[in-house]
Chain A
Amino acid sequence: MAFTTMRAGLAVAATLMATTALAQDYPDRSITMVVPFAAGGPTDTVARLVAERMSADLGQQIIVENVGGAGGTLGAGQVAAAEADGYTVLLHHIGMATSATLYRNLAYSPADGFAPVGLVTEVPMTIVARKDLEPADFPALMAYVKENADTITMANAGIGAASHLCGMLFMQAVDAPIVTVPYKGTGPAMTELIGGQIDLMCDQTTNTTEQIKGGTIKGYAVTTPARLDIFPDMPTVAEGGFPGLEVSVWHGLYAPAGTPPEAVDRLATALQAALADPGIATKLAELGTAPSPAADATPAALKAKLDGEIARWKPIIEAAGVYAD
């Protein structure tokens, strides 16, 4: 008994010592940033942009590791189970919040398994259609879709993808069952939209901006509260009378739960420094997005965002009755 207590005491003391030592020197070796998606994808791009500048601020290399699979839950699970020492972090998008409902038997808790570091960026989405779809503007489109619900087809990039989430909101907004067609990723879906094989899609500006500008597809509305600089003529969904369609693909940086607060704060400072870099802002602007302001790149802001989004998506996903497991 006494022995166990003593051992426990020793363990606590050791942890405390480790924590203080860590807090002073952190970071004293390279940090692994896990991206739970394949290299070259939009989330990977955001991660690599940010990681490079954060390295400069932290004085330690950040190695981006792609652990793709199972809609991002494999990589996230790996970070949740990693040592909470601040040397393993996760850059994940909105899927962190939706996975809490989409996956019913996760080995970790998206809400409690992580120590949020900060919001990185929010990518707006656009509602787009094949270029010869009849309706002239967004309200006309919504009426048209409702009327022709049995012939309209809507693409998405697979269950849990941003385009799928936005599609669920869209169906809720038109209040009619439309036939959805999943694709393996945004690329094939976009190809068939350009080819006119399908009618509609809702996707991130990262993928749609250049196509809309090039006239290969038709842009109807943006899902942000305000119009975007890149598309001054495109109305917001709220302007069209559908504020419930507002959605963005937000990216957040996380450490495993139990990471010393000093390390989390240091990471947040580095993140804010990276996001303040004009070079990053320029590159993100070309993707139709902007770095999160310093006030949002904080643990508290990300925590609030995450909890809010988990609560928002739970009833939507349950109503759609689609699960990814």
Chain B
Amino acid sequence: MHLDPFELHRPTSVEEAVRLARELAGRCDYLAGGTDLLPNYKMHLNLRPHLIALGDVRELRGHSLDRVGAAEPLADLEADPEFRAAYPGVADALGEVATPLVRASGTLGGNLLVETRCFFFNQSYFWRSSLGFCLKADGDKCHVVPQKERCYATFSGDLAPAFLTLDAEVEVAGPSGRRRRPLSELYDAAGDGIRRLSLAPGELVVALHLPRAARGQRGRYKKLRVRPSFDFPELGVAVAGRWDERSVDRLSLAVGGVETYPRRFDELTSPLLGAPLTTDRVDELAEAVLRKVRPVHNTFLLPDYRRRMVAVYVRRALAEAREGGAAG
């Protein structure tokens, strides 16, 4: 399978990358590990004539407990015992992404921004042409929920839910400089499977920042899928917080793999603060999350089942949440 010709740009700084992207607005993609973009390019999904490769931008590499460069390979995070110990939920998620081979090249930024997925979208040009193209690529209608307005492609990254629960922030570079904002705001809750990010054209995610308080929390990420490797999440549930038998000091919960964006449920978790996390409260929380999500039939497992698993996975994630190390 060859790729159609494109022009390859290799900036060496964030500013140069952003400048290029502004000049090429709408005609370029950023390329980091390539494990998400290149399969899509091979399937002729939303090709652009310019690729801006980020591998030579040193600032995007490297990680500490406070900051992870956007082009840091997932395997490098996974291989850092201190990082894993500090953020147990993230550690779970790191081990669950695709396969070790994908994680060797795939990057943090790539996983946070992974293209939304759908049975009608992740297909070859031939396949899509035989059915009629869809909203998300080359067409004007949705085959999942037949209409012409909204795309239901599913957010399928594993790391976003885990980092969302830690109040992580993303550092974004754009034509007007840098800004930091909560990771949750990277995703467009009012959008859909196409308009899924709040990034302006040319904006580049530079790094993820973790607040001091993110360390040492309990955490867990649980992923539903058919096979223990390869598969994208059919559901991903992340929890983090500080609690014991007597009281909940902090609790955060995020879900991916069932909607067009990864979603945090503060409105459901905040009422639990200050009280013990009883079985009843956990069950109520689990059922409440379940009621909030509406998966559609565009992945391998049936949507009713995925929805039902939301409650089970929430309960289990809370029960299995491990104490993070490296506190303070």
| Interaction A to B | no
